[in-house]
Amino acid sequence: MTAALRAASIRIGATLDPRTRDRAFQLAQRAILLLLLAAAPGADAAQTDAEIAKQDRIEELERKVEVLTEELAKMREDQAVPEDASDMRSYSGLGPAASRVYGISRGLSIGGYAEGFYRNVIEDGGRDGVDSTDALRMVLYTGYKFTDRIIFNSEIEFEHATTGQNLDGQSGSVSVELATLDFLWRDEANFRTGLVLVPSGFLNEVHEPPFFHGVSRPQVEQVIIPTTWRENGVGLFGNIGEDITYRAYAVTGLDAWGLTSSNLRGARSNGNRSRAEDLGGVVRVDWTPFEGGLLGGSFYGSGLDQDRSQFEDDAQIALWELHAQYRWEGLELRALYAQALIDGASDLTRGLRSSNRIKQNETIADNWLGWYLEAAYDVMPWIAPDRGWYLAPFFRFEWYDTQYGVPSSFERDESKRVRLYTPGITFKPHPNVALKLDYRNFDPADGEQADEVELGFGVAF
């Protein structure tokens, strides 16, 4: 019995951190020693009452050893990093890897994702391009579950392999993309504060590469919805019944000082000493009418000028999107429509031009529009049904125009209206490991834009 107890304590202790393991071994050794002493024959072994008392002591010690073994197992469960990543699930709109901390009983959680690619640029109409490879992202999720109701979650991203410059003078970065403190109250209403992901579109919250098609994220969810978009904020999230989920946050507003005619990404403050002269709000609602179906939308609104002296008038932005998804067996369908409306775009254009923030022929549009349709089908069950792999050809069509409407007396740039055709293949030898190949054919209304062949990988854990 003592050999079995010693073996059990060694197996459990091997999974603990050093300090916890040392304490566990001390407790186990002490219990085993007491058990041996209690079982040793004494001088009065022949006395019936003494034998009965000794047997009672042995049984009590055996009970304590069993309790100790259970406590060691609980310590392993509460303190160890989760090991199984094969059945990760999304929580409160976050990606499966970002949701790891919600699935543990207590303590520290670690997860993450990574992606990289090779891009071959096909010159189109004389536009030159440079073939390249990039260790695009390495992301670490760390979270801590203090209690069943108090949870901290964070995402730290390393982009382009290093913060140092490459041979062309370009550098990477290290950024915090998520840092939230959740207080879980009830299924219908929970409280969240910190650096939050703005709940807009498909990929701003779920941007882990095994869970979307294509080496690159859809352009509409980059130039219209500025993925990855995060702001300091506070708000509520929860479920309404079994079929409806929502998120509603008050956040720092976008900052027009970073706007360009091509996209909204530069207006994000990313939690970096953000100006809070103009605040914003975002609401998202998703409805699951049946298994595999999803209908939803979001609305974001904020001031845009942030009380900067370079702008004469107040400016506001309203960004809304609608999205739908359907999955049935191997079929996957997605659709998204997004539009951004800017009030005060003419004043922003003049202020940015005079400050040399944009070129003198650039215009900030007052109407930005984009949409896409995507279809994929998993053919692996036809090829090798017993493998458990995933192989899906896909096709995505995008249409976007960051100059869909411009203020009067300003000239519209027709090259910003683009049709993008992306056929490709996604292969997963494991649910959280993806190999991707695609061809991106850009078709602007004016001028030419180089096409691209992309080969990439993505993992989540």
pLDDT at 23: 58
Highest CATH level, class, for 110-460: mainly beta
pLDDT-based confidence at residue 44 (cuts at 50, 70, 90): very low
Would you say residue 127 has pLDDT above 60? Answer: no
Computed over every residue of the chain, the mean pLDDT equals 88
Residue 361 DSSP code: T
Element (H, E) at 20: helix 18-39
Helix (H, G, I), strand (E, B) or coil at 442: strand
Quick one: residue 325, left, alpha or beta (phi over 0 = left, psi -120 to 50 = alpha)?
beta
pLDDT at 64: 72
Question: Residues 159-206: pLDDT tens digits?
Answer: 999 999 998 889 999 999 999 999 999 999 999 999 999 999 999 999
d(CA 203, CA 223): 13
Question: Residues 227-253: pLDDT tens digits?
Answer: 999 999 999 999 999 999 999 999 999
Which residue in the block uniquely carries the two structure tokens 């998202």?
A: 284
**Total H helices, total E strands in the chain:** 6, 16
pLDDT-based confidence at residue 26 (cuts at 50, 70, 90): low
d(CA 26, CA 72): 12
φ, ψ for residue 47 (rounded to 5)?
Answer: -80, 130
pLDDT at 63: 78
Please answer whether residues 117 and 105 qualify as being in contact, where contact means their C-beta atoms are separated by less than 8 angstroms: no
Question: Residues 54-100: pLDDT tens digits?
Answer: 777 777 777 777 777 776 666 555 544 444 555 678 998 899 999 99
Which one, of 349, 344, 348, 347, lies nearest residue 359 by Cα?
349
Cα angle value 20/25/30 (rounded, 5°)? 130
Instruction: Tell me the average pLDDT across 417-445.
Output: 97
Q: Which amino acid is at 26?
A: Q
What does the block give as tokens for 76?
Answer: 């392993």
Question: Residues 321-363: pLDDT tens digits?
Answer: 999 999 999 999 999 999 999 999 999 999 999 999 999 999 9
DSSP β-ladder status, 331-343 and 367-377: antiparallel
Name the H helices within 270-368. 345-354
pTM comes to 0.81
d(CA 19, CA 412): 66
